[in-house]
Amino acid sequence: MQPAATALKTTDAEVRQFPIPANVHAETVVSVKHYTDRLFSFRITRPQSFRFRSGEFVMIGLPNAEKPVFRAYSIASPAWDDEIEFFSIKVPDGPLTSELQKIQPGDTVLMRQKATGTLVVDALTPGKRLFMISTGTGIAPFASLVRDPDTYEKFEEVILTHTCRDHAELRYGEELFDQAANDPLIGEVAAGRLTHYCTTTREISPRMGRITRLIENGKLYADLGIPPLDPATDRVMICGSMSMLKDVKELVESLGFTEGSLNHPAEFVVERAFVG
């Protein structure tokens, strides 16, 4: 009698290989950059057929189990990019990130076929200024949007705020901003229209404090020399931890902003920064 076929193959070298699940792209890691012991970014190849809107997220996983663990990750690269970029936290005992943080160029990352999400410009009604409020890895969808010329077609000014515990955690955003400024396509369209405002909460820096406090006490506006948030002219996108989302949402609602979605575009949209 033939032995039953098993999903698990054992190669000559005793390397266990699991089959790639159906409806999943298996992509190759192109580069990895570690920023701190909590944060890293990586880029993978992009399947030709994969389409997404800047600001959306997709489920990713690793081919290290028969039933891989998938987690939602905001795509940090813009829709026109040939590669897909992600910015991730490292959770020591996280079901995915404990392994994901070990990836090297040439390794395989699995990606589901459909991207989705609410941090897209079409979920907002037209406005003049677009505020992107982020903490930690919540900057990822905005890294996509600030590098997309479409964003500047819809808004005259883009103000990206990023708050982290310390300066080392702000580095990804600083590099993003420098890269965008020097990019032949984005540098020109964003010139004089993209502002990057970063603050720290646990390390002394020129700008300190949670963004909620800096909006409430007017320091954000004073530092940038701009008029306060106004639902008549401004739109807001928010991405960060659950408690940050709750507080910033309450804050903008108290200023008269209403929450939108793709089906009902309005004045602000919210997405949780994903961990796992």
Write out the residues near ligand A2P by the rule CB under 6 A: 135-136, 163-165, 201-202, 210-212, 240-241, 243-244, 247
* Residue 98 and residue 39 in contact, taking contact as beta carbons nearer than 8 Å: no
Closest to ligand A2P by CB, 158 vs 170, is 170
Residue whose token pair is 């004073």: 222
Q: How far is the CB of 41 from ligand A2P (least distance, A)?
A: 16
Q: How far is the CB of 266 from ligand A2P (least distance, A)?
A: 22
Give the type of residue at 231.
Answer: P
From CA 119, how far away is CA 238, in angstroms rounded? 8
Angle at 175 (CA atoms; ends 246, 40), nearest 5 degrees: 65
Burial of 197: CB neighbours in 10 Å, binned 0-12, 13-18, 19+: buried
Q: How far is the CB of 42 from ligand A2P (least distance, A)?
A: 19
Closest to ligand A2P by CB, 188 vs 250, is 250
Q: How far is the CB of 271 from ligand A2P (least distance, A)?
A: 14
Cα–Cα distance list, 190 to 50, 155, 159, 175 (Å): 26, 10, 11, 15
Closest to ligand A2P by CB, 48 vs 243, is 243
Closest to ligand A2P by CB, 64 vs 212, is 212
From CA 240, how far away is CA 256, in angstroms rounded? 21
Q: How far is the CB of 35 from ligand A2P (least distance, A)?
A: 13
Q: How far is the CB of 220 from ligand A2P (least distance, A)?
A: 12
From CA 220, how far away is CA 196, in angstroms rounded? 11
CA dihedral 174, 59, 252, 232 (to 10 degrees): 90
- 47 closest CA partner among 83, 78, 86: 83
From CA 29, how far away is CA 42, in angstroms rounded? 7
Closest to ligand A2P by CB, 9 vs 246, is 246
Q: How far is the CB of 205 from ligand A2P (least distance, A)?
A: 11
Closest to ligand A2P by CB, 188 vs 216, is 216
Closest to ligand A2P by CB, 29 vs 168, is 168
